[in-house]
Structure 1
Amino acid sequence: MSLRQFEYALAVAEEGSVTAAAELLRVAQPSVSQQILGLERELGVKLFARTPTGLVPTPVGRAFLREAEVAVSASRRARATARAGADELVGELVIAVQMGFGTRQLPGALGVLRRRFPRLEVTVFEEPSAAEMDRLCRRGVLDLALMAACERSPAAAHHIGDEEFVVVLGDGHRLLDADRVELRELEGEPWVRFDRDNALDLVLLNVLRDNELTPATVARVSQTATAVRWAADGLGVTLVPASAVPHGHEHLVRPVFPVVSQPVIAVVPPGAGPAETALLELLRQETWYDSASPVPR
């Protein structure tokens, strides 16, 4: 077995067809087919099943692909580390962020990193589910993750700041005259909430429960920017991390009392390479909004 075969299998699983995988990999279709067939012969199992919607991994194929993804990610990190020099760093950096965290801080840190190492490729995706974030960390497919909590060892988990949550009010809302909104004053307000498996919705539910508030849900959304914009239009109020508020809506944001905040944990794998180490240090230098610092207004 080779890493190329692993990469081809992962591409087929992602695209659902050999043709699409070949286009993604920029290779000839027969090459992908031959590599997959060779891999299946060597393993003695079928990795994919053909369905009306395309190729899907078999149960044993799913198990194999999980390990293949770990191996490919480790190989990329190893190549990046081996090629790292004083003035050059090449390779791929894969980052996952718990939705709403580091929305302002991460782009600035990545901008500095890319200017320092222009040949470094960076892939970032937001994950709404805290459980899925933790699973991705355990699988070892990420080079760095930003999340509220994790079960990794202290050596792998770095507390780099605290993210304060703020309430977003509609234009002309009665509570905009206050510098800080007491949560009990939100009794009876309609709420723009997040999908049920979203970690941000769990934060909101805990806040409402702890302050004996009954939520009146008017909408559920998937993205923090959507929640802010809908709240700004007067559909209802919402609660989001301070850094997730899009520019142009700061005047509708107020901190709350009692303070609602979560730690921001950066998780890096054991033996992190120079790219992860550099990004971690840049994130430490960013401003994180907590109860002791002013929320941008």
Structure 2
Amino acid sequence: MITLRALECLVALVESDSVTSAAARLHMSQSALSHQIAALEREIGTPVIERLPRGIRPTVAGLAVAAEARNALHHAGRAVTVGRRVGEGRAGRLRIASAETMTTWLLAPILRQWRARHPEVAFELSEFSSADRMDRFLSAGKADLIVGPEPTTTVHHVERIGQEEMVVVAGAGHRFADEPAVSLAAVATEPFIHYDPENGMAIWVDELADRHGIAYDTVLHTRSPRTAAQLAGANMGVAIVPVSALAGAAEGTVRPLDPPVLRDVIVTIAAPADALSRRFVAELHRRGLPGDGRIPA
């Protein structure tokens, strides 16, 4: 197998026309350089230099190999540079799985800033409506980190970014507009926009009702909290959504629950020691949740 060192020796010889000069350029002994050239010639099966009474002269094969060697050395140097930048968390590919409500609300400003500051970092974003499905996606090696609510269980490294408020959304002229906060008992008296079982919010909302001894008057189901907020704002019923679902929602009435209900927003990391993942997670911690995870003023 031809080594990069042997190719480096050949290029130095071709460019120096002297074993002495080439060896000095490479900071190695003449015998070591000759050993590398001999190994190269054995590998390709033909001489690459002609030894003259004074100096050396590259053969036709030597010139051809040297031309390719320059490209190989350039790419090898590039590989080292890229490896170092990736190791420093300044280049590479970061695969993010995100709860769908987190994309516009939390991630978009950070991704936009990173693209401007770190153009050598490429992002892949996958959106989910279930924290458990995201965790399985991470376990399958299809993501480097996930951002969203906490899954039922996980074997991965988890860090909490903050807590987001769960709120009630209704139409602009709804009676809830006159209330500073809304109880679950009051929600139970209204037509309710529930969630499809494929969305993790479905179980969460049902467990919340069970803890408070109420039942919803469900009029329709949706897979998306953002859609639930928009439908509620359009007077199709009332909905319970995370604050992150309000980004881009139609105008309506938004009120906190009474008593307040908060949900953890976490980042789960497949390889906590990975420099690129750590830099991105550090940025998430630094910025925190928009509005500290509460209803916009």
Asked if TM exceeds 0.5, the reply is: yes
Per-residue CA deviation, residues 203-257 of structure 1 (Å, 9 max, x unaligned), is 2111222222211221111222211111111111111110220336465211111
Per-residue CA deviation, residues 41-65 of structure 1 (Å, 9 max, x unaligned), is xxxxxxxxxxxxxxxxxxxxxxxxx
Q: 2:230–2:249: 8 Å Cα contact kept in structure 1?
A: no
1:165 partnered with 2:166:
yes
Q: Secondary structure at the match of 2:257?
A: strand
State the 1:197 CA deviation.
2.0
Q: Structure 1 residues 234, 207: closer, same or farther in 2, change over 3 A?
A: same
Q: Which residue is equivalent to 2:93?
A: 92
Task: Report the residue type matching 2:296 in the other structure.
Answer: P
TM-score (norm 2): 0.65
CA distance in 1, matches of 2:272, 2:160: 18
Q: Which residue is equivalent to 2:198?
A: 197
Q: Structure 1 residues 240, 111: closer, same or farther in 2, change over 3 A?
A: same
Q: Structure 1 residues 94, 226: closer, same or farther in 2, change over 3 A?
A: same
Q: 2:229–2:249: 8 Å Cα contact kept in structure 1?
A: no
Which aligned pairs between 1:227-246 and structure 2 lie closer than 5 A? 227-246=228-247
CA distance in 2, matches of 1:159, 1:242: 17
CA distance in 1, matches of 2:89, 2:244: 31
CA distance in 2, matches of 1:219, 1:263: 27
Which aligned pairs between 1:1-297 and structure 2 lie closer than 5 A? 82-84=83-85, 89-101=90-102, 103-150=104-151, 151-152=153-154, 156-247=157-248, 249=250, 252-288=253-289, 294-297=294-297
CA distance in 1, matches of 2:81, 2:266: 24
Q: Secondary structure at the match of 2:166?
A: strand
CA distance in 1, matches of 2:87, 2:138: 29
CA distance in 1, matches of 2:260, 2:211: 12
Q: Secondary structure at the match of 2:83?
A: helix
CA distance in 2, matches of 1:269, 1:229: 34
Structure showing greater radius of gyration is 2
Per-residue CA deviation, residues 136-166 of structure 1 (Å, 9 max, x unaligned), is 2222321110132244467x21111112111
Task: Report the residue type matching 1:217 in the other structure.
Answer: T
159-168 or 140-149: which moved more?
140-149
CA distance in 2, matches of 1:248, 1:280: 27
Q: Structure 1 residues 159, 87: closer, same or farther in 2, change over 3 A?
A: closer
Q: Structure 1 residues 278, 251: closer, same or farther in 2, change over 3 A?
A: farther
159-168 or 115-124: which moved more?
115-124
CA distance in 2, matches of 1:108, 1:174: 35
Q: Which residue is equivalent to 1:23?
A: none
Q: 1:191–1:238: 8 Å Cα contact kept in structure 2?
A: yes
State the 1:201 CA deviation.
1.3
TM-score (norm 1): 0.65
Q: Secondary structure at the match of 1:165?
A: strand
Per-residue CA deviation, residues 142-201 of structure 1 (Å, 9 max, x unaligned), is 1110132244467x2111111211111112000111121122111221111221121111
Query: RMSD value over aligned CA atoms?
Result: 2.9
State the 1:293 CA deviation.
6.8
Structure 1 residue runs of 5 or longer lacking an equivalent are: 1-77
Task: Report the residue type matching 1:295 in the other structure.
Answer: I
Task: Report the residue type matching 1:222 in the other structure.
Answer: R
Q: Secondary structure at the match of 1:239?
A: strand
